[in-house]
Amino acid sequence: MKAIVQDRYGTADLSQFMDIDKPKIGDRDILVRVAAAGLDPGIWHLMTGRPYPVRMGFGLRRPKTPVLGADTAGHVEAVGRNVTRFAPGDEVFGVCKGSFAEYARTTSDKLVSKPPNLTFEQAAAVPTSAVTALRGLRDTGNIQSGQRVLIIGAAGGVGTFAVQIAKAYGAEVTGVCSTAKTDLVRALGADDVIDYLHQDFADGSRYDLVLDTAGHRSLSHLRRAITPRGRLVIVGSEVGGRLLGGTDRQLRAMLLSPFVGQKLGTLVAMANQEDLETVADLLATDAITPVIDRTYTLGRVPEAIRYLHDGHARGKVVITV
Ligand SMILES: NC(=O)c1ccc[n+]([C@@H]2O[C@H](COP(=O)([O-])OP(=O)(O)OC[C@H]3O[C@@H](n4cnc5c(N)ncnc54)[C@H](OP(=O)(O)O)[C@@H]3O)[C@@H](O)[C@H]2O)c1
């Protein structure tokens, strides 16, 4: 099968589009014929092995899984003997090992049925970003109906889902984005939009909940936008060095939180079946809709990674296989 393979850490130029063997499946595994694969900034971290703590989980000297890609939509090709939830031919989406390939392996707990109203490209855009938005708002953020919620990075991969999910929870939502994307964020349902190129979100109202996906503002700056007993959820940042990447603000937020009135938190969102089901229900009822910026063919994955890493995608970037 064709796949994007990168067997050492480094830039996207090191990845090769080549023929390799199809993954073999065990009794509990599922083989998916990939129709589309989603991209998110985590792929860049796994590809480069940066920040360095990434290597503790994914291979110290070289990537344990040389085929990149995780978010997947496609058809079940084959199932192991112990798999009962899925059968060959089912249309599914979720997380696989190495989805930048024609076939990828996974297990039942990382897969759900694709809602019929979604294309494969739309479904592949969902798993990591939508589950992160859901868990950031619902679990770490404890979002409540009627709350004033600020989403920073509202036009990005996580942000476009977060605006819609916060609205589905009945919040009054303000999105922060650059000038060219204000119309998009309003169209997603935001009640108000702040253009960060012209206005500082911390200069105006205070919010019950702030979700930061952009990572360009200091912890103290973010705290200025939150009510005295409000919550901050730091999703991530691409601004930072090789050692900590953008995670230093998350570490400081967790250390400071017990000593202040505001709750300052973060999360590591791994897509699981229960959260994917919740997101699939929201998609099936059109409460949320994926926003796709660009699609690239499998052979153009390096180009897609470079585009996303520039940090200004309009929603999601998807690979068609
Ligand atoms: N904790 C977790 O489990 C988890 C899971 C998924 C992702 N993440 C992390 O979360 C972050 C966001 O992911 P993503 O997929 O949403 O990335 P993305 O699609 O690249 O979105 C980044 C957003 O940042 C905005 N931005 C860039 N410069 C800005 C600035 N100076 N001020 C304000 N906003 C600015 C961009 O808006 P404009 O285009 O309008 O400039 C864009 O919407 C990444 O660091 C990622 O690694 C964490």
Could you read off the pLDDT of 69-91 as tens digits, one per residue? 999 999 999 999 999 999 999 99
Give a yes or no: residue 282 inside a domain. Answer: no
Q: How far apart are CA 171 and CA 138, in angstroms?
A: 12
Point out the ligand 1 atom lying closest to the alpha carbon of residue 154: 43
Q: What is the pLDDT of residue 129?
A: 98
Q: Residue 204's pLDDT band (boundaries 50, 70, 90)?
A: confident
Domain range for 119 is 2-126+290-320
Q: What is the pLDDT of residue 245?
A: 73
* Structural domains in the chain (count): 2
* Statement to judge: residues 138 and 220 lie in one domain: yes
Q: What is the pLDDT of residue 244?
A: 76
Percent of the chain with pLDDT over 90: 90
The mean pLDDT value for 220-245 works out to 90
246-261 core/surface letters (b: 16 or more CB in 10 A; e: else): bbbbbeebeeebeeee
* Nearest CA, atom 14, ligand 1: 157
* Statement to judge: residues 39 and 148 lie in one domain: no
- Residue whose C-alpha is closest to residue 100's, from 313, 258, 286, 297: 297
* Statement to judge: residues 46 and 112 lie in one domain: yes
Angle formed by the axes of helices 127-135 and 273-284, nearest 10°: 100
With a cut of 90, say whether residue 247 has pLDDT above it: no
* Statement to judge: residues 174 and 51 lie in one domain: no
Q: What is the pLDDT of residue 239?
A: 84
* Statement to judge: residues 52 and 121 lie in one domain: yes
* Statement to judge: residues 78 and 115 lie in one domain: yes
Q: What is the pLDDT of residue 40?
A: 94
* Nearest CA, atom 43, ligand 1: 156
Helix (H) or strand (E) holding 316: strand 316-320
* Nearest CA, atom 11, ligand 1: 236
Q: What is the mean pLDDT of the chain?
A: 96
With a cut of 80, say whether residue 303 has pLDDT above it: yes
* Statement to judge: residues 152 and 118 lie in one domain: no
Ligand 1 pocket check: which of 95, 160, 199, 213 to mutate, most ligand atoms within 8 Å of Cβ? 213
What CATH number is attached to the domain comprising 141? 3.40.50.720
Give a yes or no: residue 163 inside a domain. Answer: yes
Q: How far apart are CA 143 and CA 265, in angstroms?
A: 13
* Statement to judge: residues 297 and 239 lie in one domain: no
* Statement to judge: residues 133 and 91 lie in one domain: no
The mean pLDDT value for 32-50 works out to 95
Distance from residue 2's CA to the centre of ligand 1 (Å): 30
Point out the ligand 1 atom lying closest to the alpha carbon of residue 267: 1
Q: What is the pLDDT of residue 188?
A: 98
Q: Which residues line ligand 1 (CB under 6 A)?
A: 40-42, 128-129, 132, 152-153, 155-159, 176-178, 181, 196, 213-216, 235-238, 246, 267-269, 308, 311-313
Give a yes or no: residue 281 inside a domain. Answer: no
* Statement to judge: residues 28 and 115 lie in one domain: yes
